[in-house]
Amino acid sequence: MKIVPLAERPDLAEQVSAWGFDEWGHLNQGQTPQTRLAEVRGEMNVDRVPVTFVALGEDGGIVGTAALIFDDLVGDPRNPWLASVYVPPEHRKKGIASALVRAVEGKARELGYARLYLFTTSAPALYAGLGWRALEQRDYRGEHIQVMDKVL
**Closer of 51 and 83 to ligand COA (Cβ):** 83
How many residues at the interface with ligand COA, by CB under 6 A? 17
Between 75 and 114, how does the x/- string for binding to ligand COA read (CB under 6 A)? ----------xxx----xxxxxxx----------------
Between 37 and 76, how does the x/- string for binding to ligand COA read (CB under 6 A)? ----------------------------------------
**Closer of 13 and 85 to ligand COA (Cβ):** 85
C-beta of residue 17 within 8 angstroms of C-beta of residue 67: no
User: Computed from CA positions of residues 63, 46, 13, 144, in that sequence, does the dihedral angle turn out positive or negative?
Assistant: positive
- Give the Cα separation of 140 and 63 in Å (integer): 29
